[in-house]
Amino acid sequence: MRILNRTLVAGVLMLVLFSQAIAAQPPGGHLNITQVLVDNSSNPTSLMIVGEDLDFGPGPLVVTLGSAGPITINSATGTLIDAEIAGPLTGGDYLLTVSMGNGQSQSDEYDLTIVAAAAAANHRTIRTEDTRAGCPDRSFPANTALITQKFTMASNGFVYVTGDIIRHTIRRADLHLHIDGNLIDRTLTYTSSPQWEDAHVVWTGPLPAGTHLVELKSPSRGVWGCGSAWGSIDTIIIE
């Protein structure tokens, strides 16, 4: 089990950013919380828990938030838990725990602080789907944007960016997330035979006022996508 530090942004949507482990990670698979998105604008309060191997362990899945009360889990995958709790939550420190068992590698803790905001932050969402032809387009070149999203922020703020797209190939294929030309997240997929596999990348962090460019790219040629239903970039912008 690892306890993570946090940075908190006050507002209707509150993001926990730049998590870093302060203890050694166990070898092999381990349940790992990387980010938490809190929507405290209504009752119930929404909790989006992002991580790796969130389904690692025999189960059942248990999520707690200190003494704040019972948490309802709406859906859960290995990378995302959608949960809610009676709210709105009052400002203060909370210890979020996700557990899939009693083993050291089967649970993780996340220390977050909710700061009451004097005024609600403005937030909006943008979805950009894969508009390329082909399923997949075998001629599409490597290291070229598979999906491109551009948006403008009137003031300094924060974003929560996720990218999802499927691929059809054999062995390894990597997916990269770029913001303003910088590689900020990557994931790899691997199958032993030609088949479809989903890839997911995510990033949360601050961005300055101005126009920003988000791109999904890959060093693998001609293996990604199958229309708008199977690939997109989704961004929550908080200003």
Question: Quick one: pLDDT at residue 111?
Answer: 86
Beta bridge partners of 35: 50
pLDDT tens per residue, range 102-111: 988 999 999 8
Residue with tokens 């990604």: 224
Question: Quick one: pLDDT at residue 28?
Answer: 52
The DSSP code sequence of 190-233 is: EEEEEEEEEEEEEEEEEE-SEEEEEEEE-SSSS-B--SGGGEEE
Q: Would you state the CATH architecture of domain 123-238? A: Sandwich (2.60)
pLDDT tens per residue, range 44-81: 888 889 888 899 999 999 999 988 777 999 999 888 89
- Total residue count of the chain as it appears in this document: 239
Q: What is the CATH number of domain 3-114?
A: 2.60.40
Question: Quick one: pLDDT at residue 161?
Answer: 92
pLDDT tens per residue, range 111-129: 887 765 444 457 788 999 9
Q: Which of 214, 184, 145, 153 is nearest to 35 (CA)?
A: 184
The parts of the chain modelled with pLDDT lower than 70 are: 1-28, 115-121
Grouping H, G, I as helix, E, B as strand and the rest as coil, residue 105 is helix
| 25, 88, 223 from 172: Cα distances, Å | 25, 44, 11
Tell me the torsion sign for CA atoms 228, 187, 7, 80.
positive
> What pTM was estimated for this model as a whole?
0.61
Calpha distance 117→15 (Å, rounded): 13
Q: Let me know: does 176 contact 188? Beta carbons within 8 Å.
A: no
Calpha distance 4→21 (Å, rounded): 5
Are the folds of 3-114 and 123-238 the same? Answer: no
Calpha distance 34→17 (Å, rounded): 9
What are the structure tokens assigned to 44, written together? Answer: 């119930």
Domain ranges of the chain: 3-114, 123-238
